[in-house]
Amino acid sequence: MPVITCIDDLKRLYKRRAPKMFYDYCESGSWTEQTFAENTSDFSKLRLRQRVAVDMTNRSIATTMAGQDVAMPVALAPVGLTGMQRADGEIKAARAAESFGVPFTLSTMSICSIEDVAAHTRKPFWFQLYTMKDQDYLKRLIQRAKDAKCSALVITLDLQVLGQRHMDLKNGLSAPPKLTAKSLADLATRWSWGLEMLGTKRRDMGNVVGHVKGVTDPSSLMAWTAEQFDPQLDWSKIAQIKEMWGGKVILKGILDPEDAKMAAKVGCDAIVVSNHGGRQLDGALSSIRMLDPILQAVGGETEVFLDSGIRSGQDVLKAMAMGASGTMIGRAFVYGLGAMGEEGVRKALEVLAKEMDVSMALCGHRDINEVGRDVLMIPEDFSGRWAA
Ligand SMILES: Cc1cc2nc3c(=O)[nH]c(=O)nc-3n(C[C@H](O)[C@H](O)[C@H](O)COP(=O)(O)O)c2cc1C
């Protein structure tokens, strides 16, 4: 058993074990990958203030997110094709999140279906909705999430059209992978991945295949999804979906203070400041840089979570100190899953929790809910002074 001390250790193992096509799918940003890179490098520009000679006993990193008790302010973000990173990936990640005590979000584009994940977990999870053109499918999807007792609907707003990730085109990304000479040569070196995949029936997009007429094989599936994202989405449609759902709503993919105000006006329970992990608008600012202007714009009217770029517990601490009320992680848990399955996701969560807890103590705090800007050293102009 390798000694895992940080998220990067899991990433190295993941790279060795997952097929190249799926590693690249996870590890890419759009176009030049500027935003993808800055999501992580901007976290390192924020510095933490060391304090000493304060009582550091009885610490707690527990809090609430969207009204739900969580062991730490970190939810698993929706990640499409998680079940291709490792067989039955969504079920494994959901179980790890459940046992750790943090929310799991199932993507519309998952391999394991809503019903399947519900049947293999005990606690409610969150469901992420892509707004689709096919209204009938959309309504049925929402009803399926209600029937599965999902405790929040996470509506993703930043993917009305798809940002280009070069490697997905070069690799001919598909789920399941098409068997070509290139993909077979790669799969031959990932035999543990292949053996597990042969042992499961879950190899298609479980929320789509069997639920849409005419979608039966990987190529019809890819064609259907590519033209289904709704380019006409607007705030009135978001309000309608919220009405249809009737429960907790989290709006994900907000990167601008004006949009944050609109989201708060719709009456959501939380927003996620996110640029989709640098996979959509290349050239946009990092999420952590946009957090402060967005917090100021919403002024406490809704909870504000942040994702994109979190790779350590120190990153979570910085986001919380800046004023977020929770965070989400995408790649950090996928690395764990691809490296070591369910155990690896748990390991990723343990790593983040330990880093956050000890760093919080070294900043002189005992309760994550009381950590504020006093622990941060923020460079002047961190949020930028950009000419309009
Ligand atoms: C491989 C991959 C697939 C993703 N699929 C989805 C998805 O299906 N729905 C969604 O709302 N966001 C999706 N995202 C974005 C994540 O939910 C999240 O915003 C992002 O991963 C956060 O950045 P991080 O990976 O740096 O933590 C995906 C991200 C990755 C890396």
Residues 6+ apart with CB under 8 A from 100: 71, 346, 349, 350, 353
Residue of the CA atom closest to atom 8 of ligand 1 = 80
- Ligand 1 atom, smallest distance to 27 CA: 31
Stronger pLDDT, 4 or 212, i.e. the higher one: 4
**Residues 233-258 pLDDT 10s:** 999 999 999 999 999 999 999 999 99
Q: 49 C-alpha to center of ligand 1: Å?
A: 31
Adjacent-strand bridge partners of 74: 327
pLDDT tens string 268-282: 999 999 999 999 999
Q: Give nearest CA residue, ligand 1 atom 10.
A: 78
Burial class (CB in 10 A: 0-12, 13-18, 19+), 15: middle
Q: Is the N-terminal amide bond of 176 cis, ω within 30° of 0?
A: yes
Overall residue count recorded for the chain in this entry: 388
**Per-residue DSSP letter, 11:** H
Q: Residue 220 has which token pair?
A: 């019809």
The alpha carbon of 84 and the centre of ligand 1 are apart by a number of angstroms equal to 14
> What's the Cα-to-Cα distance from 205 to each of 90, 111, 159, 219, 267, rounded to whole Å?
11, 4, 18, 12, 31
Q: Give yes or no for residue 14 having a pLDDT over 90.
A: yes
Q: At what angle do helices 313-322 and 331-362 cross, to 10 degrees?
A: 70
- The whole-chain average pLDDT of the chain stands at 96
State in Å: Cα 282 to ligand 1 middle: 15
CA-331 nearest atom, ligand 1: 25
Q: Is the dihedral of CA 299, 305, 306, 310 positive or negative?
A: positive
Tell me the C-alpha distance between 307 and 319, whole Å: 9
Among 36, 38, 114, 279, which is best to mutate for testing ligand 1, by the most ligand atoms less than 8 A from CB?
279
Q: What is the pLDDT of residues 192-213, one digit of tens each?
A: 999 999 999 999 999 999 998 8
CA of 77 to the centre of ligand 1 (A): 6
Q: Considering only CA atoms, which residue is closest to atom 28 of ligand 1?
A: 79
Q: CB–CB of 67/60 below 8 Å?
A: no
In this structure, which residue's CA is closest to atom 1 in ligand 1? 26
What is the DSSP code (8-state) at residue 2? Answer: P
Ligand 1 pocket test: pick from 35, 110, 127, 276 the residue with the most ligand atoms within 8 Å of its Cβ: 276
For ligand 1, what atom is nearest to the CA of residue 77?
A: 17
Catalytic positions: 276
- Measured from CB, residues less than 6 Å from any atom of ligand 1 are 25-26, 39, 77-80, 107, 109, 128, 156, 252, 274, 276-277, 279, 307-310, 329-332
Residue 45 Cα to ligand 1 midpoint, Å, equals: 23
pLDDT of 18 above 70: yes
Q: How far is the CA of 336 from the centre of ligand 1 (A)?
A: 15
Question: What is the average pLDDT across 292-299?
Answer: 97
Q: What is the pLDDT of residues 130-160, one digit of tens each?
A: 999 999 999 999 999 999 999 999 999 999 9
Q: Are 75 and 65 in contact (CB under 8 A)?
A: yes
Which atom, in ligand 1's list, is nearest to the CA of 253? 19
Determine contact, residues 111/83, Cβ cutoff 8 Å: yes
Ligand 1 atom closest to Cα of residue 310: 27
Residue with tokens 């995949």: 197
What is the predicted pLDDT for the residue at 388? 66
Digit-coded pLDDT (tens) for 32-41:
999 999 999 9
Confidence of residue 385 (pLDDT cuts 50, 70, 90): confident
**How far apart, in whole angstroms, are the C-alpha atoms of residue 25 and residue 8?**
17
